[in-house]
Structure 1
Amino acid sequence: MADTEDRKGGDRKTTEVVYDGAAAAPMANDLAAASGTGMPAPGESMTKSPSNAPSPEGDGLGCHGGQAEMRAAAEKAGQSEILERYAADYPKGPHDQPQSMCPAFGSLRVGLRMRRTATVLSGSACCVYGLSFVSHFYGARRTVGYVPFDSETLVTGKLFEDIREAVHKLADPDKYDAVIVTNLCVPTASGVPLRLLPKEINGVRIIGIDVPGFGVPTHAEAKDVLSGAMLRYARTEAELGPVQAPRGGPSDKPTITLLGEMFPADPVGLGMMLEPLGLAAGPVVPTREWRELYAALDCAAVAALHPFYTASMREFQEAGRPIVGSAPVGHDGTAAWLDAIGEACGISRDCVDQTKNRFLPMIKGALENAPIKGRVTLSGYEGSELLVARLLLESGADVPYVGAACPKTPYSSADREWLEARGVHVEYRASLEKDIAAVEEFRPDLAIGTTPVVQKAKEMAIPGLYFTNLISARPLFGVAGAGSLAQVVNAAIGNKVRFDEMREFFEGVGHGDTAGVWEDIPADHSDFRRKELAKAEKARKAADPKRVAESVV
């Protein structure tokens, strides 16, 4: 079973139970040091990572090496063109990057939702593990492929050969239409050239993309990175000749492609509003199958419901398709959107007006029947925050602040102008600090936001709702969306009394000097802390040569 080993700890002798001799196994660096050559000693097995091989971590290229170091390395490795394109498509600022999950989760999720599509990641093992875990937590039922690497395979180019071998093995036309390979931070920074992969193997398309955390700001925009790459490939195929028809056959009416992920019922509602115009709802991009990409490109116009899909919109524009911003959300948003769709598709004014007269009264009635009373701050990283804010305002809520992790684009300008005209502060690329500051300043009846924002609000005895799971997972558009938020929002606001009771019950517990469990009431040592801080500040000033020189002068 187990051997025992005696160890001494101070004056006490203990016996450690050990199950094998693994702890005594020599490490590669121990062997190299013993031989004095930097290589394993004679007779010992050769390792894949000799001690003199360059280490990504040692060179600052590890997955936690820092954005500046990773970006500099990527530029030296010939990735400047990709980084410049990402900087133009997904501009950052006013700070470097919003705080959100790894952006590669967005593109990974798009690939995992597609039929007959294999996904392969190339990156640090810890990153791949985390992305795989999160994707399956959110319901993925597909295998996530992984091509591992070490220092040697990374710096010698063997990693690229391993990736190429992996896609050749995966490229089975009976199983897959496409194989998507994604470089994470370290392979991107090291210049692993996915662009050199074959474009097609045995009829299976090979799509290689780079989604580094230091180049793509949010996971929402990473969805656009992959969607744009697939649309570009599909557009090239369509230009060369006939392509596969949609699963349900081509539409007998001109279609409107819907750009951006949405609640499953929303395309149905949009189709109902488009039908009187002689139009039909087309595919939703990101698509669920490769053949839908052709139908998405073969549209009368594109509805940019999520306005940050810059790469995807570029492909539609290359195909000659007009882009319509905003969305049919609430009364005013629906009226403006129907006007814009009619203009883009050449629909007569009378037909558009008749459609508006049919749907706008129903939307207005739904809003009046489901009012929201209370102040709400709103933030998120899905890209639909401005649309949700419009719906809340038309439902009667007071919305002083909207924060979006996504960037400002021309296709969100109508929503921004509408909100700002009603006194709403719109913050693009909002940081966590900005979102929390808004909660502290406006003291809303409800805070809708990301997990840390909701956590902070609840600490302040303010009800909170997680945007992604509880708000964006509801219909937003047309008649169905008009009254969809009232129930969950009003119920959350109604919980304020419970929060007040809990705060009163736990008052003085879990904060500052009173944190923890005490037998007696803890003494207040704030005066001592202030004195110590003053001493530290005085010492800091005394150690500052510049301040010393100024005091002498």
Structure 2
Amino acid sequence: MHPQSMCPAFGGLRVLMRIDGAQVCMAADQGCLYGLTFVSHFYAARRSIVSPELMNAQISGGTMIDDVRCTIEKIAEDPSVRFIPVVSTCVAETAGIAEELLPKRVGNADVLLVRLPAFQIRTHPEAKDVAVSSLVKRFGAFGEPKKGKTLVVLGEIFPVDAMMIGGVLQKIGVESVITLPGADLDDYVQAGRASACAVLHPFYERTAALFESAGVKIVGGNPIGANATGQWIERIGEALDLDPETVKTVAEEERQKAKGMMAGFAERMHGSVIVAGYEGNELPLVRLLLEAGLDVPYASTSIARTALGEEDHRLLTMLGTEVRYRKYLEEDMEAVLEHKPDLVIGTTSLDSFAKEHGIPAIYYTNNISARPIFFASGAASVLGMIAGLLEKREIYGRMKEYFMPSA
């Protein structure tokens, strides 16, 4: 597991527990069950995890598989359960659980083993990729005829962003948009019939490779900022062979909307910002901040450098941003001390460190991932918040002096 990152299984649970009619069965020890039950309620879906009592007696006594099968059968007695993901974590005995010894269907419910061991999956964003690719591989209708104007949008995004994407794509002739991770198991079925997949976040490598191997065209990038928004719409049009003139017109409209919005913030966008998160979608945000006129000397993420994120990486480094992958908190802290930014958008530990130095700081997950960011309206929401925070730098300095007066 990547140091200073939460258990990867958390990311997989966010995907699996939000599916309607799903009930997770966890094959793990009680320590994993305790911790992941907390996050499943607080972060994932306010649902409980069902698990057999797997302690030393069961694991060493050779009854583990029987116990898991019995638990699956009990879950399946509930007629509302349509899907039972069996999640195995990095406990040595449960990580290697044999898939062929588990049923594929019990009663009304499909059963799917999803392996989320921390020794293999480094971060929770990458565990989302494992969960989604497992679902698509099992349920995707790849053998059926493709729907020519259907697009899969791949990435956990804010609901308003999904609505905005759907509205804009409808203008250029996209007939159906499937957003993954999805709440309906049928979304994963129909995803196999799509003709193209827009990968919004760079860590979905397994899922993108699965789609590509099935003849689905992969589209990279994000509709963030003026330039990237227009380019993204044009790429979708090309991938789905849509009317070029219509696509060009809509792309230019959205490009100008974003450009006009950012021009309205021009006088307030002065200063430097450090972005340091573990969500895996940090680089598109940095791209937006740079286009809006801010200086971003340093950005970091917990995920690895990937081919899907290479375009953003090249642009950011060309514009002077140091990009750090598989980062450590200590590296982020050093960057704060070195660059003395006007704002930090980071993890809770880094935010605390920045505030101790009189620097405004906000938690990336709760303030960026929990708001729209795409197209002009989404970018306006993010930039409006950031502009307000930049204007409070002096206040944070006064607070530091009050609570931590100089000797």
Which is worse superposed, 458-467 or 479-488? 479-488
Task: Pick which of 383-392 and 292-301 moved more.
Answer: 292-301
Q: How many residues align?
A: 405
Percent identity, aligned pairs only, is 35
Residue of structure 1 in register with 2:98 after alignment:
193
Q: CA deviation digits over 1:17-70, x for unaligned, max 9? A: xxxxxxxxxxxxxxxxxxxxxxxxxxxxxxxxxxxxxxxxxxxxxxxxxxxxxx
Shift of 1:361: 1.0
Secondary structure of the 1:453 match is helix
2:351 and 2:305 map into 1 onto residues whose CA distance is 24
1-structure distance, mates of 2:184, 2:78:
14
Distance 1:367 1:98 in 2: 37
Distance in 1 separating the partners of 2:392 and 2:39:
30
CA shift at 1:462, angstroms?
0.8
For 1:123, the equivalent position in structure 2 comes to: 28
Give the match for residue 498 of structure 1.
395
- Judged with a 3 Å threshold, the aligned counterparts in structure 2 of structure 1 residues 472 and 169 are, in CA distance, closer, same or farther, namely same
Structure 2 counterpart of 1:283: 178
- Alpha-carbon distance change, 164 to 187 in structure 1, aligned in 2, over 3 angstroms: farther
Say whether 1:259 aligns with 2:164: no
Q: CA deviation at 1:477?
A: 1.1
1:507–1:217 distance in 2 versus 1, CA, 3 Å: same
With over 3 angstroms needed to count, the CA separation of the structure-2 counterparts of 1:349 and 1:420, relative to structure 1, is farther
Residue in structure 1 matching 2:10, options 90, 94, 105 = 105
Are the aligned partners of 2:161 and 2:372 in contact in 1 as well (CA < 8 Å)?
yes
Q: Is the 8 A contact 2:41 2:48 kept in 1?
A: no
- Counterpart check, 1:340 vs 2:235: yes
1:473, 1:499 → 2: CA distance? Answer: 24
Matches of residues 420-435 of structure 1 in structure 2 within 5 Å? Answer: 420-435=317-332
SS at match of 2:103: coil
* Rounded Cα–Cα distance in structure 2 between residues aligned with 1:169 and 1:356: 52
Matching of residue 293 in structure 1 with residue 195 in structure 2: no
Structure 2 residue identity aligned to 1:376: V
Q: CA deviation at 1:196?
A: 2.3
Is residue 147 of structure 1 aligned with residue 52 of structure 2? yes
Whole-Å Cα distance in 2 between the matches of residues 479 and 197 of structure 1? 48
Shift of 1:203: 4.1
Residue of structure 1 aligned with 2:82, choices 165, 170, 177: 177
SS of equivalent to 2:358: coil
1:487 aligns with 2:392: no
Is contact 1:330–1:481 with CA below 8 Å preserved after alignment? no
For residues 374 and 123 of structure 1, what CA distance do their matches in structure 2 show?
Answer: 48
Q: d(CA) in 2 for partners of 1:178 and 1:363?
A: 41
The answer as to whether partners of 2:77 and 2:107 remain within 8 angstroms in 1 is yes
What is the letter of the counterpart of residue 223 of structure 1?
A: K
Residues 202-241 of structure 1: pairs in structure 2 closer than 5 A: 202-235=107-140, 239=143
Match of 2:259 among 364, 372, 375: 364
Is the contact between residue 231 and residue 293 of structure 1 (CA under 8 Å) also seen in structure 2? Answer: yes
Alignment of 1:370-381 (within 5 A): 370-371=265-266, 372-381=269-278
Where 1:117 maps in the other structure, the secondary structure is coil
RMSD, aligned α-carbons: 2.2
Q: What 5-or-longer segments of structure 1 have no aligned partner?
A: 1-95, 243-249, 515-553
* Contact 2:59/2:93 (8 A) holds in 1: no
Q: Which residue identity lines up with residue 325 of structure 2 in the other structure?
A: Y
The alignment status of 1:456 with 2:334, answered yes or no, reads: no
Instruction: Find the aligned partners of 2:389 and 2:28 in 1 and give their Cα distance.
Output: 41
Q: Matches of 2:56 and 2:95 in 1, distance apart?
A: 11
For residue 25 of structure 2, give the secondary structure of its aligned residue in structure 1.
Answer: strand
- After superposition, the C-alpha distances for 1:381-433 in whole angstroms (9 at most, x for unaligned) are 11210111111112221111111111222111111122122111122222222
After TM superposition, give the deviation of residue 272 of structure 1 in Å: 2.5
Q: CA deviation at 1:357?
A: 2.2
- Larger Rg belongs to: 1
Residues 350-391 of structure 1, C-alpha deviations (whole Å, 9 max, x = no match): 333212222211111111113422210001111210111111
**TM-score, with normalisation over the residues of structure 1?**
0.69
Amino acid at match of 1:143: S
Q: Is the 8 A contact 1:267 1:281 kept in 2?
A: no
Deviation at 1:454, TM superposition (A): 0.7
Provide closer, same or farther for how the CA distance between residues 238 and 410 of structure 1 changes in structure 2, counting only shifts above 3 A: closer
Counterpart position of 1:352: 247
